[in-house]
Amino acid sequence: MPTEKEKMLAGELYRAMDPELSKDRLTARKAIHSYNATEPEQFAERAALLKSLLGSCHKTSFIEPPFRCDYGYNIHLGKAFYANFGCVMLDVNRIEIGDYVKFGPNVQIYTATHPIDPEERARFDEFAKPIKIGSKVWIGGGSIVLPGVEIGEGTTIGAGSVVTRSIPSRVVAAGNPCRVIREI
């Protein structure tokens, strides 16, 4: 029988209050607390904390504090990734971000979702869908990317967008819900 963590990573309904997952979240929160408490000039310390927290990240990846995530180990950052202040990544499932990706302030990436059925929700069952962001993407400040979305290479997402479905490569997209405005 699969563990709750195995079900979570497979995108199946799972119990978030499982002891193993609760321990993993606490470990991540301690690391995030340390990260967010660093002094502005402590670049080396921040890099070491990110490397130990995240599933993978290039040495040139940088996230401005404050930063929040659920587990950390499901986040994979490419070369020269930059997230401005207030980034949130709910990494219940895999978040894969390519090279040279930039996030404006307060960008939120949500893999976590919940059942529509209120009885399932009342049991604290939830599930997640992975998110993939291609290389050379820019996501404007205050944007939210929802579970299961893929954003193609070279795309720009306008500030304040709510990305509810996948967006192709090399376009400008914006709005709520986010839609393609024009090709690049």
Q: Would the pLDDT of 160 be above 90?
A: yes
Question: What whole-number distance in Å separates Cα of residue 60 and Cα of residue 140?
Answer: 20
Compute the Cα dihedral for 98, 49, 145, 120 and give only its sign.
positive
Q: Would the pLDDT of 122 be above 90?
A: no
Q: Which helix (H) or strand (E) holds 31?
A: helix 19-36
Q: Are 143 and 162 in contact (CB under 8 A)?
A: yes
Per-residue pLDDT, averaged over 48-62, amounts to 96
Q: Which of 33, 58, 76, 114 is catalytic?
A: 114
Question: What whole-number distance in Å separates Cα of residue 165 and Cα of residue 179?
Answer: 9
- CATH superfamily of the domain spanning 4-183: Hexapeptide repeat proteins (2.160.10.10)
pLDDT of residue 76: 98
Q: Would the pLDDT of 94 be above 90?
A: yes
Per-residue pLDDT, averaged over 73-87, amounts to 98
Helices 19-36 and 43-53 sit at what angle, rounded to 10 degrees? 170
Domain ranges of the chain: 4-183
pLDDT confidence of 120, banded at 50, 70, 90? confident
76 is catalytic: no
Mean pLDDT for the chain overall: 97
Q: Would the pLDDT of 182 be above 90?
A: yes
Question: What whole-number distance in Å separates Cα of residue 151 and Cα of residue 148?
Answer: 10
Q: Would the pLDDT of 52 be above 90?
A: yes
pLDDT confidence of 164, banded at 50, 70, 90? very high
Per-residue pLDDT, averaged over 154-170, amounts to 98
